[in-house]
């Protein structure tokens, strides 16, 4: 988890092996439960992460906390070979955890808004602008792909 993960080719992305890895990572993330999981967290040094902030995870949180963190449900998606751009100077400090360090969390300063260009699970180029908690999830998972815990 301390090394830069390698990029995937389109041929690799659509292979049965990577499609199976995506499925397994989705199940692992949901079972944890977590909101993101990067391939290096499961021993694969690949630039691939799965992300999902499910409504049922949010339903138990106070409305004030959801508003403060700008946290909303995010549908399941895969980011492969992501390139991130921080948008603006606004930052937010919140506690973050990591599925590889159960029971541990620390305050992490993150950009409030980001743009991420990536390939999806079919190898198709995509781009997303995210803010609030979703931006934080993206930054956390991309950190893992770059060898940052």
Domain assignment present for residue 125? The answer is yes
CATH of the domain at 92: 3.90.45.10
What is the pLDDT averaged over residues 88-97? 93
134 has a pLDDT exceeding 70 = yes
Domain assignment present for residue 19? The answer is yes
Check if the beta carbon of residue 141 is closer than 8 Å to that of residue 37.
yes
Check if the beta carbon of residue 119 is closer than 8 Å to that of residue 125.
yes
Active site residues: 141
pLDDT tens-digit series, residues 94-128: 998 888 888 889 999 999 999 999 999 999 999 99
64 by DSSP, 3-state: which? helix
pLDDT at 104: 86
CA distance 102 to 88: 32
pLDDT tens-digit series, residues 17-39: 999 999 999 999 999 999 999 99
pLDDT at 97: 85
pLDDT at 132: 97
Alpha-carbon distances, residue 132 vs 22, 55, 135, 139 (angstroms): 25, 16, 5, 11
Alpha-carbon distances, residue 4 vs 48, 108, 118 (angstroms): 12, 21, 16
1 has a pLDDT exceeding 70 = no
Total tally of structural domains belonging to the chain: 1
Check if the beta carbon of residue 140 is closer than 8 Å to that of residue 96.
yes
pLDDT at 148: 87
Instruction: Provide the residue range defining the domain that includes 79.
Output: 10-145
Domain assignment present for residue 59? The answer is yes
Domain assignment present for residue 49? The answer is yes
Model-level pTM?
0.94
Domain assignment present for residue 75? The answer is yes
Domain assignment present for residue 2? The answer is no
Domain assignment present for residue 15? The answer is yes
Domain assignment present for residue 35? The answer is yes
Please count the residues of the chain: 149
pLDDT tens-digit series, residues 32-86: 999 999 999 999 999 999 999 999 989 999 999 999 999 999 999 999 999 999 9
């Amino acid at each position: 988890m301390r090394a830069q993960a390698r990029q995937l080719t389109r041929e690799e992305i659509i292979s049965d092996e990577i499609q199976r890895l995506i499925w397994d990572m989705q199940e692992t993330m949901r079972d944890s439960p977590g909101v993101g999981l990067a391939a290096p967290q499961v021993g694969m040094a690949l630039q691939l992460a799965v992300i999902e902030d499910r409504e049922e995870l949010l339903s138990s949180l106070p409305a004030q906390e959801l508003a403060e963190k700008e946290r909303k449900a995010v549908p399941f998606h895969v980011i492969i070979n992501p390139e991130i751009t921080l948008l603006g100077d606004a930052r937010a400090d919140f506690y973050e955890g990591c599925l590889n360090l159960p029971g541990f969390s620390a305050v992490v300063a993150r950009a409030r808004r980001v743009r991420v260009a990536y390939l999806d699970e079919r190898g198709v180029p995509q781009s997303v602008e995210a803010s609030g908690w979703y931006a934080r999830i993206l930054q956390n998972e991309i950190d893992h792909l770059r060898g940052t815990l």
